[in-house]
Structure 1
Amino acid sequence: MALIIGILPLPLFLMHYETLDVWQVWLPWILLALINPWLEEFYWRGLLLNYTKNWSNWTAILFTSSVFALNHAVFGVNSELNSGLTVIISTFIMGVVWGLVFKKTNSLRWMILAHFLVDFFNLSAASFLDLYEKGNW
């Protein structure tokens, strides 16, 4: 279930992989995809869901997913592609699915892998630089 969320951005990758033509884009893209999932999942699903372990599962998952979504909308990198209601809804859904999987497995491995896939297929560095709108370097 967690990995299905991870492969949803695959069409975006297939449509815009050419944004990785220069090393100034593909190097930050691959570094972000390798490092970010560990940091975010250890915080959002690991630390925060563990902190709320005395809450009901649904309350904890909905709370952490809401904060996860708002964090990405308010404090995330401000780019045209990574803003607005779409990002709030999509990150909320990711948070709910990944929270459910974490509660079921008590492991972060699937969320880290799924988060890697999202960052990888989303071409995160290219989207943060608004290269989808600007075209190639």
Structure 2
Amino acid sequence: MIKTNIKIALIPLIIILVGSLTAMIASKYINAWAFIPLAIVYWVSIIVVVKPTKNMLKSYLKKPVYNFKISIVSLIPVFLCGFSFIWGIKYIETPSLIVMWIIFAVINSFTEEIFWRGYLIDNLTWKPSVKVIYTTILFSLSHPLMWGVFSITIRSYIMVLPLLTMGLIWGYVYHKTKSLRWCILAHFLVDILNLSVWVFLNIYIPPVIK
């Protein structure tokens, strides 16, 4: 049991290391466009580890166990992103970036949630609170250590509190509802409202970061 916990607990550290190395190497050649190879390596790593089956996906996407009030808590980070979207909406112009933005939000929200909330919380045998805190800390660190390699915004200390808030809330919601349905939706909306692609490319840097 202890060995299993250690093995599973080390997996996110390995994924972060691989992602960080990918970002550093790619950014030397293509600068902030390194977000594309990083995303591919990161998502593939998650799929290889999780090995999602049809039954597993059905379980993750099933109707939440608890009532609507618990599920709606997952949307709190979405409302906190409203200002970011308002400040950066003027940058939404280039069609190719808009397509990348939507594709990124769809794939990233799904893969990150099935890993950080689903796979890790399901397979670690620690107390629920410990699992949520552990996954939240590593989820938060993964952003500056990977995406922050080339993104000014994501490596800013300003991002610490929002990332911790997301991890804690989504971990809590998954623990309570046994469903990732609302967590994935909330994560998708956060990636959309944060203008993720423009942030990666440093085209948009929120005023609070500058």
User: Normalized against structure 2, the TM-score is what?
Assistant: 0.60
SS of residue matched to 1:130: coil
State whether structure 2 residue 39 is matched by structure 1 residue 39: no
CA distance in 1, matches of 2:147, 2:160: 11
What's the counterpart of residue 69 of structure 1?
140
Report how far residue 85 of structure 1 moved: 2.0
CA distance in 2, matches of 1:109, 1:88: 25
What's the counterpart of residue 23 of structure 1?
95
User: Amino acid of the residue matched to residue 171 of structure 2?
Assistant: G
* C-alpha RMSD of matched pairs (Å): 1.3
Task: Kindly tell me the number of residue pairs found equivalent between the two proteins.
Answer: 132
CA distance in 1, matches of 2:160, 2:86: 23
Report how far residue 76 of structure 1 moved: 2.2
SS of residue matched to 2:160: helix
| Structure 1 residue runs without a partner (length 5+) | none
Identity of aligned residues (%): 35
SS of residue matched to 2:154: coil
SS of residue matched to 1:83: coil
SS of residue matched to 1:82: coil
Confirm or deny: 8 A CA contact 1:9 1:122 kept in the other structure.
yes
Q: What is the aligned counterpart of 2:82 among 6, 10, 17?
A: 10
Confirm or deny: 8 A CA contact 1:12 1:122 kept in the other structure.
yes
| Structure 2 residue runs without a partner (length 5+) | 1-72, 206-210
Larger radius of gyration: 2
Report how far residue 126 of structure 1 moved: 0.7
